[in-house]
Amino acid sequence: GEDVEQSLFLSVREGDSSVINCTYTDSSSTYLYWYKQEPGAGLQLLTYIFSNMDMKQDQRLTVLLNKKDKHLSLRIADTQTGDSAIYFCAEKRIYNQGGKLIFGQGTELSVKP
């Protein structure tokens, strides 16, 4: 995903908030997604946001979208050790009728007790 960029690592203490950032380049993105991947497993869809929204909250997760700067973030409140995983952001572009997703490289979140 050279068009979707994420920082590679983030380390936080249990109970703190985590903020994972993502930037994308294509202004035609319609939906933006966050997936979680634990070692050796497939991807779990956490949440997604339509491009005309700027915020979405779902329990401990808050997604912020700055469409002008093409910046997406995922905030995890009260981070737990079970949140340790790799988090991928992904975009779907308006001209991709089939809906394929373009993924970033992933951010490895490490939660220390």
Partner 1 sequence: DTGVSQDPRHKITKRGQNVTFRCDPISEHNRLYWYRQTLGQGPEFLTYFQNEAQLEKSRLLSDRFSAERPKGSFSTLEIQRTEQGDSAMYLCASSGQIGASSYNEQFFGPGTRLTVL
Using rule CB under 8 A, residue 105 touches partner 1: yes
Using rule CB under 8 A, residue 3 touches partner 1: no
Interatomic CA distance for residues 28 and 76, integer angstroms: 27
Q: Which amino acid is at 15?
A: G
Interatomic CA distance for residues 35 and 92, integer angstroms: 13
CA nearest neighbour of 59 among 46, 70, 44: 46
Binding to partner 1 (CB under 8 A): which residues in 83-102?
A: 88, 90, 92, 97-102
Using rule CB under 8 A, residue 19 touches partner 1: no
Binding to partner 1 (CB under 8 A): which residues in 20-59?
A: 31, 33, 35, 40-45, 48, 50
CB of 33 closer than 8 Å to CB of 90: yes
Binding site for partner 1 (CB under 8 A): 1, 4, 31, 33, 35, 40-45, 48, 50, 88, 90, 92, 97-106
